[in-house]
Amino acid sequence: MEKLINEFSNHIHVSNLAEAAVLEVENLKTYFFVKQGVVKAVDDFSFSLKSGDKLAIVGESGCGKSMTALSVLRLVPNPPGRIVSGSIKLDGKDLLQMSESEMRNIRGNRISMIFQEPMTSLNPVLSIAQQIGEALILHQKLSDKDAFDRSVELLKLVKIPEPLRRAREYPHQLSGGMRQRVMTAMALACNPQVLLADEPTTALDVTIQAQILDLIMELQDRLGTAVVLITHDLGVVAETSERVIVMYGGKKVEEANVNDIFAMPLHPYTQGLLAAVPKLTTLSGKESYSKRLQEIPGIVPALVNLPDACTFAPRCAFATDICRHEYPPYTNISSSHKVACWHVAKVC
Partner 1 sequence: MVSNEAPVLDVSNLKKHFSIGKGIFHKSNEKVYAVDGVSFSIPKGQTLGLVGESGCGKSTLARAVIRLVEPTSGEVRIMGRNILELSKSEMRDCRRQAQIIFQDPFSSLNPRMTAGDIVAEPLIVHNIGSRIQRLERVAELFDLVGLRAAQLSSLPHQFSGGQRQRIGIARALALGPQLIIGDEPVSALDVSIQAQVINLMMDLQEKKQLSYLFIAHDLAVVEHISHRVAVMYLGRIVEHSDKNSLFSRPQHPYTEALLSAVPVPNPKLKRHRRLVQGDVPSPINPPAGCHFHTRCPYLTEQCRVDVPPLIEVEQGHWVACHLRSPKLN
Q: How far is the CB of 208 from partner 1 (least distance, A)?
A: 7
Q: How far is the CB of 285 from partner 1 (least distance, A)?
A: 7
Nearer of residues 99 and 282 to partner 1, judged by Cβ? 282
User: Which residue, 83 or 310, has its beta carbon nearer to partner 1?
Assistant: 310
Binding site for partner 1 (CB under 8 A): 60-61, 175-178, 205-211, 213-214, 232-240, 258-259, 262-263, 272-274, 276-283, 285, 287-288, 290, 292-297, 299-300
Between 239 and 308, CB nearer to partner 1: 239
Q: 228: burial class by Cβ within 10 Å (0-12, 13-18, 19+)?
A: buried
How open is the CA angle 247-66-240, to the nearest 5 degrees? 70
Closest approach, Cβ 33 to partner 1, in A, equals 22
CB 171 → partner 1: shortest distance, Å? 15
CB-nearer residue toward partner 1: 185 or 190: 185
As measured in angstroms, the least distance from the Cβ of 287 to partner 1 is 5
In the complex, minimum distance from the CB of residue 17 to partner 1, in angstroms, rounded to a whole number: 29
Nearer to partner 1, 120 or 281 (CB): 281
Q: Report how far residue 23's alpha carbon sits from residue 123's, in angstroms, rounded to the nearest whole number.
A: 29
**Please, which residue, 20 or 293, has the CB nearer to partner 1?**
293
Alpha helices, DSSP H, located in 18-98: 65-72
Closest by CA position to 198, among listed 100, 134, 111: 111
Q: CB of 277: closest distance to partner 1 in angstroms?
A: 6
Cβ atoms of 25 and 264 within 8 Å: the answer is: no
What does the alpha-carbon distance between residue 57 and residue 247 come to, in Å, rounded to a whole number?
7
Closest to 218 in 3D by CA, of 188, 189, 259, 198: 188
The answer to whether 83 touches 74, Cβ cutoff 8 Å, is yes
Read off the amino acid at residue 277.
V
Please give the sequence-ordered ranges of beta strands (E in DSSP) within the chain, or none if there are none: 21-34, 37-50, 54-58, 81-90, 93-94, 111-114, 194-198, 226-231, 243-248, 251-257, 330-334, 337-340
CA-based end-to-end distance of the chain: 50
Smaller CB separation from partner 1, 109 or 240? 240
